[in-house]
Every structure is written in structure tokens, then in C-alpha cells.
Structure 1
Amino acid sequence: MPLLARMLPAPLTMEVRRGAVAQLGALLADSRVATSGRVAVAVGPGQGDHIESLIAPTLGEAEVFRVADGSVDAAVSLGADLRKGAYEVVVGVGGGKTIDATKYAASLAGIPMVAVATNLSHDGICSPTASLLYEGGKGTFGVPMPLAILVDLDFVHNAPQSLVRAGVGDVVSNLSAIEDWQLGNVERGEPIDGLACSMSRTAAEALIGRTDSIESDAFLTVLAESLILSGMSMVVAGSSRPASGGDHEILHAVDQLFPGTSNHGELAGIGAAFCFFLREDDARVKQVVDCLRRHELPVVPADIGLTAEQFAEVVALAPATRPGRYTILEHLRMQDSEIRDRVGDYVRSFGS
């Protein structure tokens, strides 16, 4: 019998609403998530006490662990605690650092993980990767996708606005990543997954033209769904290709050369705008830049505290951050002088 369809992994449940953290017990009562075993909850250092008080009425017997930071060491320490406790599932409640550390810890312990997001800074909510700090900088590690996903809009509204807006930059950068994947397909015969591209593009297109912003529950719901869909596109593709191209190479180069500069989503947005500028796609670069400005996100190097010369250094290093990945940066193979010229042109075109 011919294969009629492929099986796609997906979270058992996904909810974006207010009050999600307080109702965590109801989710875990679902026998597909936890049967009768022990449940661990991992929280970050900032809101741990508040989160613990919210979940206590419905999840009183859960053991709460504090995740110190988004480092490999913190994740390994949590993983060791999870193994010793013989837990059935671990719930990561917090922002990107806490969720990524919990995903990695769950993979070390060999148990499923539930993600409860309290901000929307990047697509790590549902992605099969964890971005963690280690001695050499920041690395990306493969992990299983979360078993279930909740986004609590009460917490998102109270999160730093700059972090929530950053999620817009990360989603919009998908459009550049898809262009790079298609370029790799044409130039190098790299296999491309049309379904993963469709999911990634749909996530970005749902957001890029909206005129409302993070003050609106409706906008935050679309942002959350777009970030989750972006993460799922990577699961379908089996790699980060549908959501990470030259834009993320630029992001990683900034992290290496100028650590502590801006954040993931903001850097992805700038990277995407610059890559579309390199492609001479005037319509798309204008659309991306307009979106970034509408959401008060950085557009040019000065917006993140870098000079044009420093950003040129970033662009020169960027291809080396992802060896083997083919993007517009590898395709153009620009020399240092040409990079400086193109960065200068970009700044003159879009600087205030």
C-alpha cells in the first residue's frame, strides 16, 4: 500500500490565554501528559515565588526547582535533580532562558517537558533546540519538542516590553531564512521541505502587516501562535533551516564579537532587514523595516549600540558561525571592502 501521508509531531495541547499558569494542574490531569507520577516544575529566578504561589492550589504536590540562568551548567544541574527524583514530567515556566534550560534538562533526564511561556521573545517556545551559554559563548543544542505548550497572557503583559517586541523580529526573520533555504536549493541542490517553508512563512505573514501591537490580546495571541508555528516548522524540517538563515548568522556573530548586545529577536530582525537589502528586494526590505519600526525594534547598527564598522565586522564573521549553511552571505562572498560599502549603503538608506 502506498504511503498516503507522513506523521507529523505536534504538541498534545496548545493554549494561549490569560490565567494559564494558575490552571496548570488541569492540563497535567490529562492522562496523556501525566498519569500518576511525580511532577517537577522549573522556574526562573525572577518570578519563582509568584509562580509557585499560583500553581500551589492545583499542583500542590509538585516539587519546584529554581533555574539559576540559561546556561549549560544550570540545565545539567536540573537534569541531575530530575533523574534522582524519578519524575514523570517536568514543567518549565518562564521566559526563553528558563524554557531552554528545562528542555535540555528534560532531554538529559529522559522525560517529557511541558513549556509554559511568560514572555514571547523568540520561537524557542516550541522549537527542537535549546540555546544555552557555556564557556565558549552560546551554543544551540538539539532537544525534543515540548509535549504541551501554554502561553499565559497575564504574564506576557507584565513582561518587559522590549522582550515581547523582540518576538516580532524573530518571527519576521523567517521570511529571510526561507529565501536562503530556497537559494541553497537552487545553487547547491540542498533538499527543501515545502511544508516546513509554508509553516514558517505563514507564521511571519500573519504578523508582518498587522497594525496593532503588544498592548492587544489579539496581537499577542497571533504572536504566540506564530512563534509556536515557527518552532514546529523546524521540527518538521528536522533542522533550524526554515527559521534561521543569514539573519541568524549575523545574530550569532554579534553574540561572539559583542556579547551582551541587544537580544535574540532584535538581532534577528536587523539581520533579516540587512539580508533583504543585500538581495536588492526593495519591496520586502521596506516591508520588514516598516514592521520593525512599527514595533519600536532596532533597524540599523546604531540602534543596538554598534557602529557601521563594527557591524561590518559582524557581517564578515557571520558565515563562519554556521559552517555548511548556504545563505545570501555565502552566495555573495563579499570582501571586507565590499561589506563596508554595503553596510554604509544600508545605514544611509534606513538610518534616521
Structure 2
Amino acid sequence: MPVLTRLIPSPVFVEIRPGALDALGGILADQRLSTSGRIAVAISTGSGSRLRERLEPQLPSADWYEVVDGTLDCAVRLADAMRGGHYDLMVGLGGGKIIDAAKYAAARVGLPIVAVSTNLAHDGICSPVATLDNDAGRGSYGVPGPIGIVVDLDVIRQAPVRVVAAGIGDVISNISACADWELSQRVTGEKVDGLAVAMARSAGENLLRHPGTLKDADLLTALAEALVLSGIAMNISGSTRPSSGACHEISHALDVLYPKRSAQHGEQVGLGAAFASHLRGERELTGLIVERLRAHGLPVRAEQIGFTEAEFTDAVHYAPNTRPGRFTILEHLDLSPSAIRDAYADYVQAVNS
């Protein structure tokens, strides 16, 4: 009887613990990763620059590149600057924007990348997607996932609490995204990858029901592991489907329609997940999501991140345009602006009761 298996694209190594940065030099010395020691390191102008002094003695042959922001133009400039460097691999050191820019640049020049995260704002640390600002607002670009992940919990504790909390909103939104994918299977016959769903939903459920606070090392470890699992789930499915449904469509619409606003991605998708669950009639789940978001100081109403009811209504109505061909509860219900406004009013009443 034949044994049927499949290869799962995943990082070669994952280091999540206090003091993990102290082992970075030894990890990168692994001959499977770098045979010459020639490494390009992309760093932010903030936390990355401060860590450079600590890491330079470990990486004597590395070249360092400062990344100003998370724009497509900046990522292209980074790739151009690295050409001719004859590097074995690239290290992206910083927050989500820097790592996304580094992932795009590494893909452009054909280098594997190791992601060293200084915060846990979203699942970009392991995903096969780079989200970058462009002239049209913000775009998502397919890239190879990182071959290694390093998360130093001592460094994470120094990140702004709001930024780390946003990662919880991003992971919890997996639950809504998987529900949307399964809805599409029932209505349109779209194929669902059960393994990808199992990994993404388990990551979300773990954070949804975790009793800890952001001061607890156990919760930070669970969050980092959940973000990695979300990225692997996307690698398995070959798309963002297990982690991106109506929740992300709403967030992308907010980015497109109101590009000057400053809400975190995880804040927006957490709110989007709660509202999408309400639209699917999942009252108990909606209550659990709202409760957990509130526990970590995350928004549960649009006004808490600077959007009026009318702006949120417009964003929800526009949201399906951000992912043409993707079927979620928004496409299924196809609500008019007035129906969305009424649904949001019902949602607000439910979360305030």
C-alpha cells in the first residue's frame, strides 16, 4: 500500500525564547545557511539600529542596510543596493514593515531570508506575503517564506504594548478567516485545505482562550508560536486564505479609503473578525472575540481607532473589491450600505450590552 505524503514548506529553524539574539551568530554559521559568512542584514532606523551594536561582533562579515520604511519603493531600493554583494542569505531585523521590505528584497535578488522580529504585530514574520505601501495605498506581494525565525522575548518586552497586542488581534482573526473559507466551500464548492485550517484555527483558538496578559512570558511565547503557525498555514495552502477573510477585506478597505489613519493592522482585523462573526450569526464566538480583544486593550468599535460609523460602513461595503474572487460572508450577504449600517448598529448594541 503506497504511503501518501506531502512536503510542507516551513522554516529550517524557529528560536523563540529569552536571549535568542545571543545565539544568532551561531545559528547563521550553520553551513546549510551560509557557507561563506557573507550576510546582508536589513535593519530599521529604530530598534534595529540599536541592536546592531550588540550583533555586529557575532556577524563580522555582514553588511548592514538601513530600511527607512515599509514601502515598495524602499524594498526595491534595498534589493538594488544588495546586488553584487554575493551574499549567502539575508537577515531582516526589526518590526513587520522592515521584515516585509526585506522579504520582498530578498525574493527580488534570489536570497533566502531569516526573520528576526523585534515585535509581534502580525504574522508577517513567517508568511509568504510582503505587505508594502505603494502609490495605490497598500499591496500584498507573494514571496518565499523565511527559512528561519528568531524571536527574543527580552526584546519583545521592550516593544510598545499596543504593537504587540495587535498581533493578538491578527491571530484571533484566523478563526473568522477559516469560517469564511468553510462558508465558501459550502456555497461555492471552493476546496478547503484541512491541514492549513487546523493550524491557523488552532493558533487563533489558543490566543482566544489564553488567560494570560502581555506581561506574561507564556502568552508572548504562545503569540510568537501562533504567528509562526499562521505563516506555515499560508505556505501549506499556497494562499492567505487560512488567515485572511472578511476581517482582512475590511482592514484593506480601511487602508485604501483612509490611508492617512494610524490604526495597527492587527487592531483593524481584530475588529473586522468580531464584526464578520456577528454577520455570520455566531453570537457566542462574537462575544468571546470581543471579550479577548478588550482584555488586551484592542478596539471592538470603529470609533476606538478613529473611524466614524459612516466611514466603517463605507469600508465594509467597499471591502469585497480588495480581494476579487475571494468569497466571504461579505460576498455571501452582499449587503447594501443601509443594511451594513443597521448590522453595525446591532453589533455595537450587542458588544455594549
* TM-score bracket relative to the smaller structure: over 0.9
Contact residue 124 and residue 231 of structure 1 kept, 8 A: yes
Separation in structure 2 between the aligned mates of residue 16 and residue 228 of structure 1, nearest angstrom: 10
Deviations 1:306-333 (A, max 9, x none): 1111111111101111110000000001
Structure 1: runs of 5 or more not aligned: none
1:40 deviates by 0.9
Question: Residue 142 of structure 1 aligns with which residue?
Answer: 142
Question: Residue 271 of structure 1 aligns with which residue?
Answer: 272
SS of the equivalent of 1:317 reads helix
1:225 deviates by 0.1
SS of the equivalent of 1:84 reads coil
1:67 deviates by 0.6
Identity within the alignment, %: 49
Contact residue 97 and residue 132 of structure 2 kept, 8 A: yes
1:3 deviates by 5.0
Separation in structure 2 between the aligned mates of residue 3 and residue 324 of structure 1, nearest angstrom: 35
Question: Residue 257 of structure 1 aligns with which residue?
Answer: 257
Of 252-261 and 273-282, deviating more is 252-261
Deviations 1:111-162 (A, max 9, x none): 1000001100000010000000111110000000101100011211011110
Separation in structure 2 between the aligned mates of residue 15 and residue 57 of structure 1, nearest angstrom: 20
1:294 deviates by 0.7
Contact residue 122 and residue 170 of structure 1 kept, 8 A: yes
Instruction: Trace 1:61-140 onto structure 2 (pairs within 5 A).
Output: 61-140=61-140
| One-letter amino acid matched to 1:155 | V
Contact residue 287 and residue 351 of structure 2 kept, 8 A: no
Question: Residue 247 of structure 2 aligns with which residue?
Answer: 247
Instruction: Trace 1:1-352 onto structure 2 (pairs within 5 A).
Output: 2=2, 4-259=4-259, 260-351=261-352
Separation in structure 2 between the aligned mates of residue 230 and residue 326 of structure 1, nearest angstrom: 20
Separation in structure 1 between the aligned mates of residue 6 and residue 23 of structure 2, nearest angstrom: 34
Change (3 A) 1:308 1:351: farther
Contact residue 136 and residue 256 of structure 2 kept, 8 A: no
Deviations 1:73-103 (A, max 9, x none): 1111111122221111010000000100000
- List, as ranges, runs of 4+ consecutive aligned residues in structure 1 with deviation greater than 3 Å: none
Contact residue 255 and residue 261 of structure 1 kept, 8 A: no
Contact residue 253 and residue 318 of structure 2 kept, 8 A: yes
SS of the equivalent of 1:195 reads helix
1:339 deviates by 0.9
- TM-score (structure 2 length as normaliser): 0.97
Contact residue 20 and residue 152 of structure 1 kept, 8 A: yes
Separation in structure 1 between the aligned mates of residue 137 and residue 21 of structure 2, nearest angstrom: 32
1:351 deviates by 3.9
1:255 deviates by 0.5
- TM-score (structure 1 length as normaliser): 0.98
| One-letter amino acid matched to 1:153 | L
| One-letter amino acid matched to 1:76 | V
Contact residue 29 and residue 37 of structure 2 kept, 8 A: no
Separation in structure 1 between the aligned mates of residue 241 and residue 13 of structure 2, nearest angstrom: 25
CA RMSD across the alignment: 1.2
Separation in structure 2 between the aligned mates of residue 112 and residue 37 of structure 1, nearest angstrom: 14
Deviations 1:192-229 (A, max 9, x none): 10000000011011111111111111110000000110
SS of the equivalent of 2:144 reads coil
Separation in structure 2 between the aligned mates of residue 82 and residue 113 of structure 1, nearest angstrom: 13
SS of the equivalent of 2:88 reads strand
1:60 deviates by 2.0
Separation in structure 2 between the aligned mates of residue 29 and residue 38 of structure 1, nearest angstrom: 10
Count of residues in correspondence between the two structures: 352
Contact residue 300 and residue 347 of structure 1 kept, 8 A: yes
